[in-house]
């Protein structure tokens, strides 16, 4: 495939809308999508029909809409990608946008609304605060632990989760009583992992591993009683989800959830399974017993479907012809890693061994399930096979597996990526490999090229972590804590696990792409890494994206970030002719 064709495929892939989340207001379904080029909120009727754009973009995060009004609250970045947010509102019927809360400079990470109450957790350089707002006023309720993240609110309680007991391997819930001002940290069992709670009246729904594997539980905020979530139907017990991708309450107090297993999802209301197409379900909302889901697979860009008998499409999203012809096919595979542990990966291939990109996801608490993704799909459609390993630390495989990364970033996770590379070579996928990733994936890419330079032919690192210590010093309260939790408080490991420590060993061509205003993986440590590369003999490219941050929230931004990487691959690692 020549470069002109590759650029045209990337442009086509970047123009395919992504849909991140879905919610329901009183009269409409709303969803967060970059349809038209920029992430904004869109509104469509419960029965489909015309859609319209409710907001100007880019929109960062939508608070889950409520069913008694058509007002939707959402955050926007006001720092050219630097992730300092203000809160806006718009109407799902009329689409009038206005500034709802003029917050001081901070990163808003957890965010919910109920009636005219808006609540959020927001990080500054110094601290994390819990805030509420009514009618535009802003009240700081208190300083909270730096990873505390709000997930829901009722009229009376603000609820959320985070590392609240100083144990990096556990997550606790918090409940803030608006009437007494009391902040309570809750865990059903010390050391257990308890995920973002959702509240209905006084009932707090959360995922927890305290009784073994991940299950949904309900805590009564008043009595303190806790027990398993109750279901009228038993389909969900037969399915036996490994994780709960999404969960919440119906308006009449039943539990709904999306269960996840091996990169695939199923949807349930009150324990009864809803028919959904095979694939992954990144988002779901339930109103009056009707469920609307975001559905996707590697070969199906995200669509909005009314789940159930007909799986009626509200928002269609067909794969453009030029992409579908070139994409290949996707499947989840698994292999044994260096120590015998079972590791899964998403493979997109063209049916025979080829030059292969080992694509490393970010997070690290994230995964490559069976989903459409503009990066994986543009690489596959430009002629490569791709293997995207869910290395230890990934979500989707239970808490024991996810927690293996804590205290060991760049250790066994990198070894799993090496094992995926070897497996692809031994199993008819790869003739030769390149390594590529964004954010934590960019980190593993640089670390891999420095620690095991013989393993890959070249590498592409987007928004990489190059130097943990420098990054830690530049971070706000939330991301400082993130680094400390990820390292299990063993900060003496920061240098040993930093790519800059191994830059002198890099022997293969490397392409680095970073954004000027990135506040999660900041530019300065990357510049230092590039300066070190420049004093060596090897081939490298470096691209800085002006006025952009970590989150890529426009189609043009996606092209800006991905195109240098793909052009580099074509120069250094040209795909074989089909
Ligand atoms: P991500 O970015 O891979 O996009 O989630 C990251 C930012 C910060 C850290 C890790 C990943 N950190 O450890 O601080």
> What CATH number is attached to the domain comprising 347?
3.40.50.1820
In this structure, are 330 and 260 located in the same domain?
A: no
439 an active-site residue?
Answer: yes
Distance separating alpha carbons of residues 493 and 469, to the nearest angstrom? 10
DSSP 500: G
Tokens 């399915």 identify what position?
239
Q: Is the dihedral of CA 26, 28, 34, 38 positive or negative?
A: negative
DSSP 131: E
DSSP 193: B
CA torsion 331-241-109-345 (nearest 10°) is -20
In this structure, are 311 and 341 located in the same domain?
A: no
**Which atom of ligand 1 lies at the shortest distance from residue 439's CA?**
3
Q: Rg for the chain (alpha carbons), in Å?
A: 23
In sequence order, the 6+-apart residues with CB closer than 8 A to the CB of 274 are: 266, 267, 268, 291, 307, 308
The protein residue whose alpha carbon is closest to atom 8 in ligand 1 is 520
In this structure, are 44 and 67 located in the same domain?
A: yes
**Strand pairing category for 385-390 and 354-360:** parallel
Note whether residue 13 is domain-resident.
no
CB-CB contact of 497 with 409 (8 Å) = yes
**Which atom of ligand 1 lies at the shortest distance from residue 550's CA?**
4
Residue 376 Cα to ligand 1 middle (Å): 19
Q: What pLDDT, in 10s, does the model give residues 451-471? A: 999 999 999 999 999 999 999
Neighbours of 104 (CB within 10 A): 12
In this structure, are 412 and 522 located in the same domain?
A: yes
The two three-digit tokens of residue 436, written as one number: 């590529």
303 an active-site residue?
Answer: no
The two three-digit tokens of residue 401, written as one number: 């597996």
Boundary residue ending a domain (262, 292, 315): 315
The domain tally of the chain equals: 2
What SS3 class is residue 451?
A: helix
Catalogue the E-assigned strands of 145-279.
149-153, 157-162, 172-177, 182-186, 198-200, 203-208, 215-220, 226-228, 243-249, 255-261, 264-269, 272-274
The protein residue whose alpha carbon is closest to atom 1 in ligand 1 is 363
What SS3 class is residue 555?
A: helix
Residue 205 Cα to ligand 1 middle (Å): 27
pLDDT at residue number 449: 98
Residue 132 in contact with ligand 1 by CB distance below 6 A? no
Ramachandran area for residue 279 (φ above 0: left; ψ -120 to 50: alpha; else beta): left
Bond before 58 cis per omega within 30 degrees: yes
Boundary residue ending a domain (315, 350, 373): 315
In this structure, are 309 and 337 located in the same domain?
A: no
Note whether residue 140 is domain-resident.
yes
> What CATH number is attached to the domain comprising 90?
2.130.10.150
pLDDT at residue number 578: 61
| Mutation choice for ligand 1 from 521, 523, 525, 553, CB with most ligand atoms inside 8 A | 521
Residue 464 Cα to ligand 1 middle (Å): 9
In this structure, are 248 and 346 located in the same domain?
A: no
Residue 520 in contact with ligand 1 by CB distance below 6 A? yes
| Mutation choice for ligand 1 from 362, 391, 407, 472, CB with most ligand atoms inside 8 A | 362
Distance separating alpha carbons of residues 264 and 403, to the nearest angstrom? 21
Q: Please tell me which residue in 170, 192, 439, 498 is annotated as part of the active site.
A: 439
Termini Cα distance of the chain: 8
Residue 482 in contact with ligand 1 by CB distance below 6 A? yes
Distance separating alpha carbons of residues 211 and 209, to the nearest angstrom? 6
Note whether residue 577 is domain-resident.
no
The two three-digit tokens of residue 451, written as one number: 């620690």
Bond before 568 cis per omega within 30 degrees: no
Distance separating alpha carbons of residues 533 and 449, to the nearest angstrom? 12
Q: Is the dihedral of CA 143, 145, 151, 156 positive or negative?
A: negative
Residue 440 in contact with ligand 1 by CB distance below 6 A? yes
Residue 107 Cα to ligand 1 middle (Å): 15
Q: Is the dihedral of CA 139, 142, 145, 149 positive or negative?
A: negative
The protein residue whose alpha carbon is closest to atom 13 in ligand 1 is 483
Series of mean pLDDT values for 10-residue runs along the chain (578 residues): 87 95 98 96 96 95 97 96 96 96 95 96 97 94 98 98 97 98 98 98 98 96 97 97 98 97 96 96 95 96 93 94 92 97 97 97 97 95 96 97 98 98 98 98 98 97 98 96 97 98 98 97 98 96 97 94 96 86
Tokens 């391997």 identify what position?
169
Note whether residue 207 is domain-resident.
yes
In this structure, are 276 and 330 located in the same domain?
A: no
Instruction: Please give the helix or strand (H or E) that residue 230 lies within, else none.
Output: none
| Mutation choice for ligand 1 from 441, 463, 470, 482, CB with most ligand atoms inside 8 A | 482
The two three-digit tokens of residue 38, written as one number: 């920029």
Nearest to 392 by CA among 359, 367, 357: 367
Residue 436 Cα to ligand 1 middle (Å): 16
Note whether residue 107 is domain-resident.
yes
Distance separating alpha carbons of residues 281 and 246, to the nearest angstrom? 9
**Which atom of ligand 1 lies at the shortest distance from residue 361's CA?**
3
Note whether residue 578 is domain-resident.
no
Phi/psi of residue 258, each to 5°? Answer: -105, 120
The two three-digit tokens of residue 507, written as one number: 């022997």
**Which atom of ligand 1 lies at the shortest distance from residue 486's CA?**
13
pLDDT at residue number 398: 96
The two three-digit tokens of residue 544, written as one number: 């800085």
Residue 487 in contact with ligand 1 by CB distance below 6 A? no
Residue 363 Cα to ligand 1 middle (Å): 5
Q: Please tell me which residue in 217, 295, 550, 570 is annotated as part of the active site.
A: 550
The two three-digit tokens of residue 121, written as one number: 């957790």
In this structure, are 534 and 520 located in the same domain?
A: yes
**Strand pairing category for 198-200 and 203-208:** antiparallel
In this structure, are 430 and 554 located in the same domain?
A: yes
Which domain range does residue 161 map to? Answer: 18-315
- Helices 412-426, 440-451: inter-axial angle, 10-degree rounding: 80
In this structure, are 290 and 331 located in the same domain?
A: no
270 an active-site residue?
Answer: no
Count the residues in the chain.
Answer: 578
Residue 483 Cα to ligand 1 middle (Å): 8
Adjacent-strand bridge partners of 386? 348, 357
In sequence order, the 6+-apart residues with CB closer than 8 A to the CB of 191 are: 167, 169, 170
Q: What pLDDT, in 10s, does the model give residues 395-447? A: 999 999 999 999 999 999 999 999 999 999 999 999 999 999 999 999 999 99
Q: Please tell me which residue in 518, 519, 560, 570 is annotated as part of the active site.
A: 518
The protein residue whose alpha carbon is closest to atom 5 in ligand 1 is 363
Boundary residue ending a domain (299, 315, 331): 315
**Which atom of ligand 1 lies at the shortest distance from residue 442's CA?**
3
Adjacent-strand bridge partners of 269? 256, 272
The two three-digit tokens of residue 174, written as one number: 């918090």
Say how many CA atoms lie within 13 Å of 410 toward its Cβ.
29
Residue 499 Cα to ligand 1 middle (Å): 14
Note whether residue 11 is domain-resident.
no
What SS3 class is residue 20?
A: strand
Distance separating alpha carbons of residues 130 and 458, to the nearest angstrom? 45
In this structure, are 486 and 524 located in the same domain?
A: yes
Instruction: Please give the helix or strand (H or E) that residue 197 lies within, else none.
Output: none
Note whether residue 10 is domain-resident.
no
Burial label for 378, CB within 10 Å (0-12, 13-18, 19+), is: buried
In this structure, are 112 and 259 located in the same domain?
A: yes
The protein residue whose alpha carbon is closest to atom 2 in ligand 1 is 439
The two three-digit tokens of residue 480, written as one number: 């400082």
């Amino acid at each position: 495939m020549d470069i002109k064709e590759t650029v045209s495929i990337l442009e086509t892939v970047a123009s395919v809308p992504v849909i991140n989340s879905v919610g329901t207001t009183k009269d409409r379904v709303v969803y967060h999508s970059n349809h038209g080029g920029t992430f904004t909120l869109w509104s469509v009727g419960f029965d489909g029909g015309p859609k319209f754009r409710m907001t100007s973009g880019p929109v960062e995060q939508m608070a889950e809409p409520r069913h008694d009004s058509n007002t939707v609250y959402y955050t926007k970045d006001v720092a050219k990608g630097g992730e300092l947010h203000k809160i806006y509102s718009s109407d799902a019927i009329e689409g009038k946008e206005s500034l709802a809360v003029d917050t001081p400079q901070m990163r808003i990470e957890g965010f919910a609304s109920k009636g005219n109450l808006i609540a959020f957790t927001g990080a500054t350089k110094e601290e994390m605060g819990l805030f509420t707002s009514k009618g535009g006023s802003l009240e700081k309720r208190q300083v909270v632990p730096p990873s505390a993240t709000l997930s829901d609110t009722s009229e009376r309680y603000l609820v959320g989760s985070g590392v609240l007991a100083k144990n990096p391997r556990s997550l606790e819930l918090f409940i803030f009583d608006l009437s007494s001002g009391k902040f309570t940290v809750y865990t059903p069992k010390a050391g257990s992992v308890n995920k973002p709670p959702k509240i209905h009246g006084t009932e707090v729904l959360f995922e927890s591993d305290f009784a073994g594997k991940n299950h949904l539980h309900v805590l009564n905020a008043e009595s303190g009683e806790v027990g398993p979530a109750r279901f009228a139907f038993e389909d969900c017990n037969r399915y036996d989800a490994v994780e709960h991708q999404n969960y919440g309450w119906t308006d009449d107090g039943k539990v709904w959830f999306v269960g996840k297993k091996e990169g695939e999802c199923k949807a349930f209301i009150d324990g009864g399974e809803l028919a959904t197409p095979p694939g992954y379900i990144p988002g779901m909302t339930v109103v009056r017993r009707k469920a609307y889901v975001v559905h996707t697979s590697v070969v199906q860009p995200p669509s909005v479907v009314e789940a159930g008998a007909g799986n009626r499409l509200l928002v269609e999203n067909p794969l453009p012809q030029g992409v579908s012809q070139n994409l290949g096919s996707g499947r989840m595979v698994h292999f044994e890693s260096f120590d015998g542990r079972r590791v899964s990966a998403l493979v997109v291939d063209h049916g025979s061994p080829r030059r292969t990109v080992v694509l490393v996801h970010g997070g690290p608490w994230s995964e490559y399930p069976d989903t459409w993704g503009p990066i994986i799909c543009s690489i596959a459609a430009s002629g490569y096979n791709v293997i995207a390993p869910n290395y230890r630390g990934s979500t989707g495989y239970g808490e024991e597996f996810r927690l293996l990364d804590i205290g060991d970033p760049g250790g066994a996770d990198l070894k799993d990526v090496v094992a995926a590379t070897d497996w692809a070579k031994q199993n008819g996928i790869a003739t030769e490999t390149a390594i590529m990733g964004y954010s934590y994936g960019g980190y593993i890419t640089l670390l891999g090229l420095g620690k095991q330079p013989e393993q890959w032919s070249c590498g592409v690192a987007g928004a990489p972590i190059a130097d943990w210590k420098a990054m830690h010093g530049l971070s706000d309260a939330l991301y400082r804590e993130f680094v400390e939790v990820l390292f299990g408080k063993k900060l003496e490991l920061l240098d040993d696990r930093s790519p800059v420590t191994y830059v002198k060993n890099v022997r293969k061509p490397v392409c680095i792409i970073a954004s000027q205003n990135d506040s999660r993986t900041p530019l300065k440590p990357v510049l230092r890494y590039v300066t070190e590369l420049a004093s060596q003999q090897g081939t490298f490219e470096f691209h800085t994206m002006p006025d952009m941050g970590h989150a890529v929230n426009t189609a043009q931004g996606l092209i800006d970030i991905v195109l240098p990487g793909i052009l580099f691959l074509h120069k250094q690692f040209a795909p074989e002719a089909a």
